[in-house]
Amino acid sequence: MAAPEKISRRRLKAILSGSVGNLVEWYDWYVFSAFSLYFSGSFFPSGDATAQLLYTAGIFALGFLMRPIGGWMFGRIADKVGRKQSMTLSVLLMSLGSLLIALTPTYQTVGLVAPVMLLTARLLQGLSVGGEYGVSATYLSEMATPSRRGFYSSFLYLTLIGAQLLALGIQLVLQKWLLTEAQLLAWGWRIPFAVGAALSLVALFLRSNLDETAAFEAQAPETEDQRGSLRVLWQYPRAVATVVGLTMGGTLAFYTFTAYMLKFLVNTAHMSKATAANVSFLSLLVFAGLQPLFGSLADRVGRRGCQT
């Protein structure tokens, strides 16, 4: 197979702007988990730290319930008014969620209003990130030439892992060089959420200058018979089952690797927290770097060849 053609300036802009927005969205999503040890006591009344963390984990989990709703909602927006508008709106919604967490008063100040505001912010973030992934994947694949779709799509996971590395990096900087433990517990945990809100504005600016995809501009208006995405999906049961199975397996493996590994290294392998953090950081760095390589490989040998 011939080598893929060079990336044009227009397509390079699409990769950068689409990927930066994806990185910011996932940073805002992951920073909640990274700093929950510090802010859980600010939103819940129990003096039991374990109970506070469980409440916070519950809110984290509820955010996941909004992701399929966000995927459906922003997918419909992308089909009706454009990929660019949908991606811009998702970043705006994420910035509102992060800003709300950064500014929410503590339980000691406003009582039950505090956890309600935290939950509201997290639901907004879940809605946003649920719509982000699918629409970004569509945008990058439509902006790519057929011979480069694997490479373009790889930037979704590259920036997703990059977001985790950014959240972990900010945590390490605050812990080691800028703030004391007491300051992080009192107010320092708000900093990464404020950073996320600010980064969202940068992503919002970049996405507002994106070009719309030719595929969307060329599509004809829906007829009555074409409406109803679920009705269309039922026409391809085998393909849907394959995608669902691959997604479920990949997601399980991904979150085991990225979320559970740190706990396993400390609790089971008995590594120090610092050593475990370094192992996690380096492994994620390697994982991120492999994404474009395997994306390019998929362009050369085919998608099925890379999956087998």
The predicted-structure confidence for 6-65, as pLDDT tens digits, reads as follows: 667 777 777 787 788 889 989 998 899 888 888 989 999 877 777 887 888 889 889 989
Residue 250: pLDDT above 50? Answer: yes
Nearest CA among 175, 163, 50 for reference residue 98: 163
Mean pLDDT, rounded, for 132-161: 86
Nearest CA among 230, 303, 287, 18 for reference residue 140: 18
Segments making up each domain of the chain, as ranges = 10-148+158-216
Q: What angle in degrees, to the nearest 10, is found between the helix axes of 83-103 and 190-208?
A: 160
Q: What percent of the chain lies above the pLDDT cut of 70? A: 91
The pLDDT value given to residue 282: 87
pLDDT tens, position by position, 169-209: 898 899 889 999 899 999 999 999 999 999 998 898 888 88
pLDDT band at 2 (very low <50, low <70, confident <90, very high): very low
Dist CA 43 CA 55 (whole Å): 9
Structural fold of domain 10-148+158-216: Growth Hormone; Chain: A; (1.20.1250)
pLDDT band at 227 (very low <50, low <70, confident <90, very high): low
Question: Would you give the DSSP letter of residue 71?
Answer: H
* Sign of CA pseudo-dihedral 158, 159, 162, 163: negative
Centre a 10 Å sphere on the Cβ of residue 200 and count the other Cβ atoms it contains.
26
**Token pair of 114 as six digits:** 């505090």
Which has more confidence, 83 or 247?
Answer: 83
- Contact present, 29 and 218 (Cβ < 8 Å): no
